[in-house]
């Protein structure tokens, strides 16, 4: 459910590029813009700070993160499955033909973000949500 929220947030980033207060559209019941406020209050600043630093050395990762998020969400919703290495049900999604050109640097950035976030908050933030936040902030930055 939280990944639906973050997908919505990434869409909002396309519309709003300023840091001024934004009036958000009404949400579907069960979604919240403050889902991680209690469990990981620094989540958004962790993601933004990491990406700001990363983009100073390689701005092209921004498009890679947006594309990674798109490929994760494309077929059956945003579930983080694009990040999995192997499964019992078949080959990795990474090995599917449409995903072969996804940037390794984008996967690396998500892994590094997950490590930073887990160190700060514990294992409470889903990989799908991290991917959505990274895509949103990539567009914004």
Between helix 127-140 and helix 61-73 the angle, nearest 10°, is 140
User: Does 18 belong to an annotated binding site?
Assistant: no
Per domain, the residue ranges of the chain are: 43-140
pLDDT tens digits, one per residue of 35-79? 899 999 999 999 999 999 999 999 999 999 999 999 888 877 888
Tokens of 50: 């990491």
User: Does 57 belong to an annotated binding site?
Assistant: no
Catalytic residues: 71
Q: Where are the alpha helices (DSSP H) in the chain?
A: 2-15, 43-57, 61-73, 104-121, 127-140
**CATH architecture under which domain 43-140 falls:** Orthogonal Bundle (1.10)
User: Predicted confidence band at 18 (pLDDT cuts at 50, 70, 90)?
Assistant: very low
- Residue 15 has a pLDDT of 45
User: Does 72 belong to an annotated binding site?
Assistant: yes
């Amino acid at each position: 459910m939280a990944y639906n929220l973050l997908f919505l947030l990434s869409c909002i980033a396309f519309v709003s590029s300023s840091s001024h207060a934004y009036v958000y559209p009404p949400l579907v019941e069960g979604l919240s813009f403050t889902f991680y406020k209690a469990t990981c209050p620094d989540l958004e600043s962790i993601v933004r700070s990491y990406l700001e630093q990363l983009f100073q050395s390689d701005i092209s990762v921004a498009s890679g993160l947006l594309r990674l998020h798109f490929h994760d969400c494309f077929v059956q919703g945003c579930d983080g499955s694009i990040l999995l290495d192997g499964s019992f049900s078949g080959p990795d999604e990474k090995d599917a033909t449409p995903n072969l050109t996804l940037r390794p640097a984008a996967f690396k950035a998500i892994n590094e973000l997950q490590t930073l976030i887990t160190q700060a908050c514990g294992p409470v933030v889903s990989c799908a949500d991290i991917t959505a936040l990274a895509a949103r902030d990539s567009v914004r930055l």
